[in-house]
Amino acid sequence: MSQIIHQRPNIPSQYRFRREQAQATINKLLEISKRLINTKAQIRFLIRCKKHNLIPNGLNRRFLISISNFSQSGKRLCQRFQWKLLLRILSDKHWMLHKYKQRIQSLWKHLEAFNLGSRFYFQTDVMIKKKMNYWDRQDTHRLSQKFMKLFIEEECHTYFE
């Protein structure tokens, strides 16, 4: 009675080791990709606010509100400062976007150095793109709701003045 033992072909241990090492790079790639998508959504939100002449609630500082209560010139000073701050934030977000793209490129090069095969890289790329689409939908939905709330508040504020 001879028994035939059916075993799966073993994955070479070197490949498994490289794959485990590459997982840290993939996790970092996912983290940076999430930041990139979040920054893109924030840029779209800020540009939308800029086009509709709205200042996000985060830029309304208490000391500016107290200055604007004094006079008409105080209101103009407050508005001018808020617009400069909005433009500065937009500029910083674009710079962050550029840095995230550079970091993602360097992580992809680092991942390719593990020499895991084209199919592995293709599957990883598809997985990351699916996650990025999901994060983009979430961020866009959240920020569009925030924009609509801000837009309605501004309409009500200007209507009653």
Classify residue 4: in a domain, yes or no. no
Classify residue 9: in a domain, yes or no. no
Note the pLDDT of residue 1: 47
Classify residue 114: in a domain, yes or no. yes
Which residue, among 148, 160, 22, 46, has the nearest Cα to 96 in the 3D structure? 46
Does the pLDDT of residue 114 top 90, yes or no? no
Classify residue 31: in a domain, yes or no. yes
* Counted domains in the chain: 1
Average pLDDT over residues 70-86: 81
Range of the domain at 55: 23-160
Q: What is the pTM of this model?
A: 0.78
Classify residue 3: in a domain, yes or no. no
Task: Kindly tell me the burial class for residue 57, based on how many C-beta atoms sit within 10 Å of its own C-beta (0-12, 13-18, 19 or more).
Answer: exposed
Distance in angstroms (rounded) separating the CA atoms of residues 79 and 57: 13
User: If pLDDT is split at 50, 70 and 90, which confidence band does 139 have?
Assistant: very high
Average pLDDT over residues 30-44: 96
Note the pLDDT of residue 51: 93
Note the pLDDT of residue 72: 78
Average pLDDT over residues 150-154: 86
Classify residue 6: in a domain, yes or no. no
Classify residue 66: in a domain, yes or no. yes
Classify residue 10: in a domain, yes or no. no
